[in-house]
Amino acid sequence: MLSTQEFLSSCRPCLGTSRKTHVFRRRSSDWICRRRSSSISGMAPPILSLALPSETGRVLSIQSHTVQGYVGNKSAVFPLQLLGYDVDPIHSVQFSNHTGYPTFKGQVLNGQQLCDLIEGLEANNLLYYTHLLTGYIGSVSFLNTILQVVEKLRSINPNLIYVCDPVMGDEGKLYVPSELVSVYREKVVPVASMLTPNQFEAEQLTGFRIGSEADGREACKILHAAGPAKVVITSINIDGNLFLIGSHQKEKGQSPEQFKIVIPKIPAYFTGTGDLMTALLLGWSNKYRDNLDIAAELAVSSLQVVAKGIEFLTSYFH
């Protein structure tokens, strides 16, 4: 049986990645949250924590987790690993199943508990990340702590790429507290590198109704003006047609490069597809940094393969 390292190494030639080892040292800076006096000092970090694939990176993924089913980190971590990334997941919630079921049980991580985890990583020189990925956040206090995490990670690596999926709702309905909308709009969007809302979430963030492809392109421009260089509205449904609008503003003040991808509809119900889509956009856009359109095409095609596979298996076994 192959070890994890052997398995990932065997994947890299197929994915066009190479392996070089770089050692990074943490910049000294004070963590915003309260420091603990108890820390392990004088111990060298594990070698694997310092090994950074030259064409990929290390991702801190803060999202939901379910024991059964594939949403949040369960949809994002493995695909990113297959693309060659080192992924460290923090579960914003841990539930028995997703909340679409009649009932669910579990735990919700609070802001101080998130601080504790970040402090533990920092105490052992393990807080160097190239990417931060966030998904479902259930409270304003936790979202405000995420902002502290962004600031902390960028104090260590100023080139940190923050990919934010502003999970707030869909099909005209919010499924998070309404107070989160203004926090996302006023505080989170300005610090994000890439934003991946769906149609409803883009409307909430811009205050602009999206009723056409042109509206989608205009919404992307509004979001660029607020901060992120890359915006992908992952699903726009108009008159029964499903498509994606992507936009990359390579320099502030310049007109963004925009594109549209038509998405074939699959007659089935899925959960976690948005989480998977954002993870794939992170993975491929880092490999095609100046070609968001290519990255989005690869992400959409990968998602379609997964969805069609699930549809086939579901129909086969029923």
Buried b / exposed e along 56-76 (16+ C-beta atoms within 10 A): bbbbbbbbbbbeebbbbbbbb
Residue 8 included in any domain: no
β pairing state of 257-262 and 86-95: unpaired
The catalytic residues are: 275
Task: Read off φ and ψ for residue 269, nearest 5 degrees.
Answer: -105, 130
Task: Rounding to the nearest 10 degrees, give the CA dihedral for residues 160, 163, 168, 173.
Answer: 160
Domain tally, the chain: 1
pLDDT at 317: 62
pLDDT at 267: 66
Cα 58 to Cα 165: distance, rounded to the nearest angstrom = 18
User: 94: Cβ–Cβ under 8 A, 6 or more apart, which residues?
Assistant: 64, 65, 66, 67, 106, 107, 109
β pairing state of 241-248 and 257-262: antiparallel
What CATH number corresponds to the domain at position 239?
3.40.1190.20
User: pTM for the full model?
Assistant: 0.81
β pairing state of 106-108 and 131-134: unpaired
Residue 11 included in any domain: no
Closest among 187, 194, 185 to 161, alpha carbons compared: 194
Residue 264 included in any domain: yes
Residue 89 included in any domain: yes
Query: How many CA atoms does the CB half-sphere of 262 hold within 13 Å?
Result: 3
pLDDT at 99: 75
What are the E-state strand segments in the chain?
A: 58-66, 86-95, 106-108, 131-134, 161-164, 169-170, 173-174, 194-195, 230-238, 241-248, 257-262
Residue 15 included in any domain: no
pLDDT at 185: 96
pLDDT at 66: 83
pLDDT at 249: 97
Residue 100 structure tokens: 């679409």
Q: In which domain, by residue range, is 237 found?
A: 53-317
Bridge partners (DSSP) of residue 258 are 247
Question: Which residues of the chain fall short of a pLDDT of 70?
Answer: 1-55, 266-272, 307-318
pLDDT at 302: 86
